[in-house]
Amino acid sequence: MLDGFVVKSLPQTGAPSEEIQERLTKICLDEPYAHFARAFRGPEDVQRLAQWAFDRFFADNGFFSLYAPYMREIEQEVIAMGVSLLHPEHDSTGNFTSGGTESNFSAIHAAKEWARERRPGVKKPNVVAPRTIHPSFHKGARYLDVEVVTTDFDTNGRGIAANIANAIDDSTIMIAASAPSWAYANIDPIPEIAEVAHDAGLWMHVDACIGGYISPFLEKLGRNLTPWDFRVPGVMSISADLHKFAYCPKPASSIYWRHVELQKHHYVEVNDPFLGPYKLAGFSGSRSAGPIFAAWAVMNHLGEDGYLRLTRRLMDIQARITRELGAIGGLRVWDVDVMPLHFSSDRTPTEAIYQGLQEKGWIMLGRLNPSAITLPIDPSLTDEDLERLLSDLREVVDRLGHAAAPKAGDIRYG
Ligand SMILES: Cc1ncc(COP(=O)(O)O)c(C=O)c1O
């Protein structure tokens, strides 16, 4: 992180590309130490194809995705394939976005527009959600001047429908919940929460940014998950990140609408006095079309059997980590419905282990309260990468033992 300002003028004379490449190669982070910071990637063939499609279309402007037929078709096919996983209605649809943050932002924005028609008396709208809702949701709400009222959750980090019902007031326009939350990786009781929303006549959003493209396959492989998608009556929008478990290159996410008529609350149309009508697919204006084409390429390359195969691989990795990491003194991998994995120690301060791993070169993600180290595993994690992580962890934990003092931990999520 930079502590201060960097003052630097543009070089007087440009440098040759080889020199630039050399400099950038030097600062490029090493594998496997940067593996988790680069989450989420598919296996090599998937990455290679994604990169090819990204490069081929990187100069095309996604600005035209509602109009240019070749691009429109591809973006809509991505959305159609995505929504098909969510037990859609016959007219469910969605939009391609730049990430979970924009998808959540889009949901709050659409709900606000929807409520503007239905509840014109609401001056300062609020959204009620379990406290485990992702910070990007708060961020989006802040931009839109919507208050987020958060409610207590159970010991496993799952929201409680009765708490949400109690928190609703005359200014509530929306209820949101996670499937799952990043913080606990557990799914909120979506059917009960959606019922509260339905009874109160509110928009119900499910943040499935992390789970949207893996839960359907976990379920097909027999994992019993709380229903969380359009199967659940009352769920009106779902955010799902393509750049997580769909293994598409960043920036790529999707926001889905239960009915096409809800999508009209998403679009912001401007009639410019000089340029004419201005209506784009999402919040961004000009954007690279690379991610749209890359997402299409990855989804068509993997297909249902590919996603099932990669989900199976992830389940194997999860089982191995739970077993082998759990055998290292005091470490415990948390029980989760979906992903990511979190682990903590009952013996050595988790912050000290986190810092020990960082000192060995690992760039790790964590969570603060309670402290845990997060493993956003993906199918590109090889057995050798995993072995390196486990042996580094054994070494760090052995060295620190019981005696490690809790360091003023800089354990952090992002
Ligand atoms: C549940 C959830 N929602 C939203 C987001 C934000 O996604 P992004 O970082 O793609 O904006 C994340 C990111 O991990 C997430 O886990």
Ligand 1 touching residue 351 (CB < 6 A): no
pLDDT digits (tens, 9 = 90+) for 210-262: 999 999 999 999 999 999 999 999 999 999 999 999 999 999 999 999 999 99
For residue 408, count other CB atoms closer than 10 A to its CB: 7
- Determine if ligand 1 sits within 6 Å of the CB of residue 99: yes
Find out whether the beta carbon of 134 lies less than 6 Å from any atom of ligand 1.
yes
The domain 49-299 is placed in CATH, from the list 3.40.630.180, 3.40.640.10, 3.30.365.10, 3.40.50.2300, at 3.40.640.10
Percent pLDDT > 90 in the chain is 95
The 3-state secondary structure of 209-275 reads CCCCCCHHHHHHCCCCCCCCCCCCCCEEEEEECCCCCCCCCCCCEEEEECCHHHHCCCCCCEEECCC
| Distance (Å, whole) CA 133 – CA 135 | 7
pLDDT tier at 411, thresholds 50, 70, 90: confident
Ligand 1 lined by 98 (C-beta under 6 Å): no
Separation of CA 174 and ligand 1 centre (Å): 19
Residue of minimum CA distance from atom 2 in ligand 1: 209
Q: Where in the chain is the domain with CATH 3.90.1150.10?
A: 304-400
Average pLDDT, the chain: 96
Q: Please give the pLDDT value at position 2.
A: 57
Say what the pLDDT of residue 33 is: 97
Which band of pLDDT confidence, cut at 50, 70 and 90, is reported for residue 393?
very high
Q: Which atom of ligand 1 is nearest to the CA of 182?
A: 16
What is the pTM (predicted TM-score) of this model?
0.96
Residue in 38, 97, 98, 101 to alter for ligand 1 test, most ligand atoms within 8 A of Cβ: 101
pLDDT digit string, tens, across residues 114-148: 999 999 999 999 999 999 999 999 999 999 999 99
Does residue 37 contact residue 357 with C-beta atoms inside 8 Å?
Answer: no
Tens digit of pLDDT for each residue in 295-321?
Answer: 999 999 999 999 999 999 999 999 999
What pLDDT is attached to residue 408? Answer: 59
Ligand 1 center from residue 253 Cα (angstroms):
9
Distance (Å) from CA 98 to ligand 1 centroid:
11
CB-CB neighbours of 219 under 10 Å: 16
| Nearest CA-CA partner of 377 in 119, 89, 115, 38 | 38
Q: Is the pLDDT reported for residue 82 higher than 70?
A: yes
Nearest atom (ligand 1) to Cα of 340 = 16
Q: Is 247 in the pocket of ligand 1 (CB under 6 A)?
A: no
pLDDT at residue 409 in the model:
61
Q: What is the pLDDT of residues 43-61, one digit of tens each?
A: 999 999 999 999 999 999 9
CATH 3.40.640.10 range(s) for the chain read 49-299
CB 290 within 8 A of CB 57: yes
pLDDT at 98 over 80: yes
56 phi-psi bin (left φ>0, alpha ψ -120 to 50, beta other): alpha
Q: From atom 6 of ligand 1, which residue's Cα is the shortest distance away? A: 100
Residue 413 CA to ligand 1 centre (angstroms): 11
Instruction: Report the distance separating Cα 191 and Cα 194, nearest Å.
Output: 5
Is 281's pLDDT higher than 80? Answer: yes
Mutate to test the pocket of ligand 1, among 158, 187, 190, 209 (most ligand atoms within 8 A of CB): 209
pLDDT band at 406 (very low <50, low <70, confident <90, very high): low
**Which atom in ligand 1 lies closest to the alpha carbon of residue 101?**
11
Determine the pLDDT at residue 170. 97
Q: From the CA of 222, how far away is ligand 1's center (Å)?
A: 25
pLDDT at 291: 98
Could you tell me the distance, in angstroms and rounded to a whole number, from the CA of residue 192 to the centre of ligand 1?
A: 23
Q: How confident is the model at residue 362 (pLDDT cuts 50, 70, 90)?
A: very high
The second-level CATH assignment, the architecture, of 304-400 is: Alpha-Beta Complex (3.90)
Each residue's pLDDT tens digit, 168-191 = 999 999 999 999 999 999 999 999
User: Residue 260 and residue 312: Cα distance in Å, rounded?
Assistant: 33
The number of the ligand 1 atom at minimal distance from the alpha carbon of 250 is 10
Task: Check the CA dihedral 329-335-338-340 and report its sign.
Answer: negative
